[in-house]
Amino acid sequence: MSHSSSALVIPDSLLAKEATGILREYSTELLFNHSIRVYLFAAEQGRQRKLRFDPELLYVAAVFHDLGLVRKFSSENERFEVDGANAARQFLTAHHLPDEQIQTVWEAIALHTTPGITQYMRPEVALLHSGVALDVLGKGFDQFPSETREQIVARYPRIHFKEGMVQALFRGFAHKPGTTYGTVNAGVCERFISGYKSPNACDLIEASPFPDS
């Protein structure tokens, strides 16, 4: 098998197949293709950087990372990232994975939209974030082998992806815009909810009940 074709292989364990089934059942085509691309990008980044990572854990993290945007998994008051992380935890607990592995997947999903932190964490956490950043923002586009990237996108196409992804994000948390405070998604709410402004840290500090001495 050539390296370029190995870049298109997704884990085929029973656990991975069940995860894929959940994604296919509850997700949209846009989010399905995005999630698989994120895994393939992340796994290739891991190989390039010679990181030792668990492909199955990274795959489950990629599969569940946006399921919190989907009504079935969406809570009333948690960040969508946490909803996806909690769904993955439930799935992996039912499969009796060790707590440490479950926690790694939980952290990877919960932090996948948080810049500046994940690169110092476990490889699966770091790679999920970098795979998402590549697929959604194009971060690292020029460092990624173009032939492999083109193969991945041909297999899992980006049909109207830019507009569709923004809409999927907004639909996923329009009912709870306050949960986006402190994340990159606050900007999505400000763009689409007329008059919405995310809380400002200066105002929150000013409103603290402590008197200055």
Spatial separation of the C-alpha atoms in residues 129 and 108, rounded to whole Å: 7
Helical ranges in 111-195 per DSSP H: 123-132, 146-155, 161-173, 186-192
Q: Are 130 and 42 in contact (CB under 8 A)?
A: yes
Residue 2: per-residue pLDDT = 46
Give the angle 52-86-187 at the CA atoms, nearest 5°: 90
Residue 1: per-residue pLDDT = 41
- CA-based end-to-end distance of the chain: 70
Spatial separation of the C-alpha atoms in residues 69 and 173, rounded to whole Å: 7
Residue 7: per-residue pLDDT = 75
Spatial separation of the C-alpha atoms in residues 188 and 191, rounded to whole Å: 5
DSSP class of residue 195 equals T
User: Along the chain (213 residues), what's the average pLDDT of each consecutive run of 10 residues?
Assistant: 67 97 97 98 97 98 98 97 98 98 98 96 98 98 97 97 97 96 93 94 95 91
Domains of the chain, each with CATH number or no CATH = 3-158 (1.10.3210.10)
